[in-house]
Chain A
Amino acid sequence: MILEPEIFKIEEVIPESTQAKSFIFRGRIDYQPGQFIMVWVPRLDEKPFSISYHGEDFFGITVALKGRFTQRLHQVKKGDSLGIRGPFGQAFNLQACSEHNESNGPTCVVGGGIGMASLAVLIERLKMSALGGSASGGPVIVQGARTESELLYRTRFKDMMLYTEDGSAGRRGLVTDPLEDMQWRHGFKALYTCGPEGMMVKVFEFARRNRIPLQASLERYIKCAIGLCGQCSCNGLRLCIDGPVVNAETLATLEDFGRFARLRNSQRVTIEEYLKGCA
C-alpha cells in the first residue's frame, strides 16, 4: 500500500455539511492521527487526505468541495472503489504534553474548516487516553468555520466550542478569540491545530506567547508522498515525510508558514495564489 495504490470499496457515504462528505471504506489500515493517505481516482488524479474515521476494520476520509478532483469524489457512491496509498508522514505526538508539562490543564484542539478532518481521530484518541484530559475528561475542542453550514462533526463531538465568522452558529468570531482567557483560566497542557494557515499562524503566536507545546498539521501540494520529488518543500522541509505535522520549534524556522506555498510546477507564490491555483 506504500508502493502502489490498493483498491478499497466505499461502504458508506456520510453528508457532513453543505461542503463536505465523508467516505467510509471497509478494511484495515495502520494509521496514526496526523498522517495522510493518497486517494486515487484512475484516469483523473491522486490527492492527499487525512483519515477522519478510523477503527479496527474501517477507515474514512472527509472531503470538502474545492476543485475538479473533489467534485468527482463527491459523485462517488456506496459500492464504488477508490485507490488508496499510504499512510504517510509524521503523526501528532499524543505524548507531547507530558514532555514539558507544568500545567495540569487540558489539551486543546483548534480546528478551522476542513482542517477538522485531520483532527477528528486525534480527538477520539485523546478522549480515550488519559493524556487528553483535565479532570473533566477529553480535550477542549474549538472549531471555527465561515458559517454554520460548514461546521463539521457536530453530533460526533457534542462538547465543541463553535465559532463562525458570520455568527450563524456558536459565537461570532475566530477560533483564536477565547484562547487567552481559557489559558488564563486552565493553563493548557498542549495545543493541536489544523486549518487555514492564517488561523494556524494565530494559534502559533498564542502558543509561543504562552509557552504551550504546539503541533500543527500543514498542507502543501503533494506528488510522490514518499519524500523524493521535492514538490512539497516548505523551506527545505518535505511536508510529505518530514511533516505534515510539525511542532512550534520547527514552525518558527519556516519562513513560508502562513505566507508562501508552491504550485504544482514548484513556483513559490503567496498562500492566497496557491489556494486559487489548486481549486
Chain B
Amino acid sequence: MARVDLSTELCGIRLSNPTVLASGILGTTKSLLKRVSSAGAGAVTIKSLSLDPLPGHNNPIMVGFEAGAAGTMQGGCAAGFLNAVGYSNPGVKEAVKEFKDLSDVGAPVIASVIGRGVGDFMKVVEGLWGLDFSAIELSLSCPHTPGFGMMAGQNTPEATKEIITAVRTMTRLPLFVKLSPNVPEIGRIAKAAEEAGADGITAVNTLGPGMVINIEARQPVLDFKVGGVSGPALRPIAVRCVYDIYKAVSIPIIGVGGVSTGRHAIEMLMAGASAVGIGTAVYYQGIGVFQEVCREMEEWMTANGYPSIKELVGAVHN
C-alpha cells in the first residue's frame, strides 16, 4: 500500500507533518528549536516574547498531579501538570539576537508574542521584522501572569478584535491567535479574531488556573500559587474547543492540549484542527514524541484507509 501523506498546510505554510511544538515548551533557544525540528516536528513555536524582559515567577514554576494513589495502577502517573512560569523571557530586543537566523532550523518557526496592551503587541511584532519567522501567534490567554492574557482581560471577543486589528497592520505574516479554554463561548472569540483579520487560531492555552497544595507544608506548591493545567487532563476540553471553533470559523486551527499519541492527534484533527500542538507530552515520551506521534498516525491512517491529512480535518463534522 502507498505510504500515507502526513503533510499539511497552515495559511500557505507547508508542514511536513501536523505536529507543532507548542509555545512555552523548549522554545527558549534556537538550538532547542533545531533539536525539536530534527526530532520530527512539522513546525516549532518559540517561547513567548514580550516587549521588556520578564524574570518570570520564582520556583516551583511547575508541578504535576497524580492520577491515582501511590501503589495503585495509576499511582505515580501524571494526570497533568500545572505551570506558572510567568512568561520569563529576555524581551524582544535581546531575543532578536537569539533568533536572528532561523533558516537552518529545518521547520517553519512560529513567533509567540505577548503584550500588556495593544501598543506592546504592535512593538513586539515590529521588533521581529526582518527575521525568518513563518507566522506570528498572539497569545491572549495565559492564566498566570499579571498584566497579560487572561489576567489582563484579553480573552474577550472585544479585546481580541482590538488587538488583532492593530497587529494586522504591522505584519504580512500569517497571524494566529492563541485562545483560552476558560471562556463560555470560545467560538465567539474565534469568530471575532477571524473578522479582525486573523489567519488562524491556536486552541487552547492551559486551563484554569488550578492549584496543587502540599498538605504537609500546608502551602500551594507553585510559588505563584496557581497555574495553568496542561497534559492529559486538558485533552477532552481542548478537543471540544477545537470542535466549537471549527464550527464558528473557516480559518485553520492548530489544536493543542494533552496530545501525546497518534490517536490523540487524529482525534484533534477530526475535531477540526489542521495541525496539532505538542507540549507536555515531551515529559512523558521525551523529544522523540514528535516522530512517535507521526509514526502512529501513519500506521492508523494506513490501516483505516486515510491517504492524507485533509481527509481527517474536521471529519466529525461531516
- Contact residues of A with B, CB < 8 Å? 2-7, 38, 40, 42-47, 81, 83, 85, 223-224, 226-231, 233, 235-236, 238, 262-268
CA distance A268 to B89 in the complex (A): 11
For the residues of B in contact with A, the DSSP-based class is: loop
B30 to chain A, nearest CB (A): 8
Q: In the complex the two chains form, is B28's CB within 8 Å of A46's CB?
A: no
Q: Which of A4, A47, A230 makes the CB contact (< 8 A) with B64?
A: A4
Q: In the complex the two chains form, is B219's CB within 8 Å of A42's CB?
A: yes
Q: Is B209 positioned at the interface, with any CB of A under 8 Å from its CB?
A: no
Q: What chain B residues lie within 8 Å of A81 (beta carbons)?
A: 216-217
Q: What chain B residues lie within 8 Å of A226 (beta carbons)?
A: 62, 283
Q: What chain A residues lie within 8 Å of B310 (beta carbons)?
A: none
Q: In the complex the two chains form, is A4's CB within 8 Å of B31's CB?
A: no
User: A38-B59, A223-B85, A228-B25 are contacts. A4–B34 as well, Cβ < 8 Å?
Assistant: no
Q: How many residues of B contact A (CB 8 A)?
A: 48
Count how many pairs of residues, one from A and one from B, have CB atoms less than 8 Å apart in the complex.
Answer: 129
Q: In the complex the two chains form, is B90's CB within 8 Å of A40's CB?
A: no
Q: In the complex the two chains form, is B29's CB within 8 Å of A236's CB?
A: yes
Q: In the complex the two chains form, is B90's CB within 8 Å of A233's CB?
A: no
Which of chain B's residues 12-37 have a Cβ closer than 8 Å to chain A?
24-29, 31-32, 34-35
- Contact residues of B with A, CB < 8 Å? 24-29, 31-32, 34-35, 47, 53-56, 58-66, 76, 78, 81, 83, 85, 88-91, 94, 97-98, 212, 214, 216-217, 219, 221, 223, 279-280, 282-283, 286
Q: Which residue of chain A is the closest to B31 with respect to CB atoms?
A: A236
Q: What chain B residues lie within 8 Å of A83 (beta carbons)?
A: 214, 217, 221
Q: Which residue of chain A is the closest to B27 with respect to CB atoms?
A: A230
Q: Which of B29, B54, B91, B283 makes the CB contact (< 8 A) with A228?
A: B283
Q: In the complex the two chains form, is A230's CB within 8 Å of B25's CB?
A: yes
Q: What chain B residues lie within 8 Å of A227 (beta carbons)?
A: 282-283, 286
B31 to chain A, nearest CB (A): 3
A-B contact pairs, 23 of them (CB 8 A): A2-B64, A3-B63, A3-B64, A4-B63, A4-B221, A7-B217, A40-B217, A42-B217, A223-B62, A224-B61, A227-B283, A228-B81, A229-B61, A230-B29, A230-B32, A230-B47, A264-B56, A265-B53, A265-B56, A265-B89, A266-B90, A267-B53, A268-B29
CA distance A26 to B276 in the complex (A): 45
Q: What chain A residues lie within 8 Å of B27 (beta carbons)?
A: 230
Q: What chain A residues lie within 8 Å of B55 (beta carbons)?
A: 264-265
Q: Which residue of chain B is the closest to A256 with respect to CB atoms?
A: B31
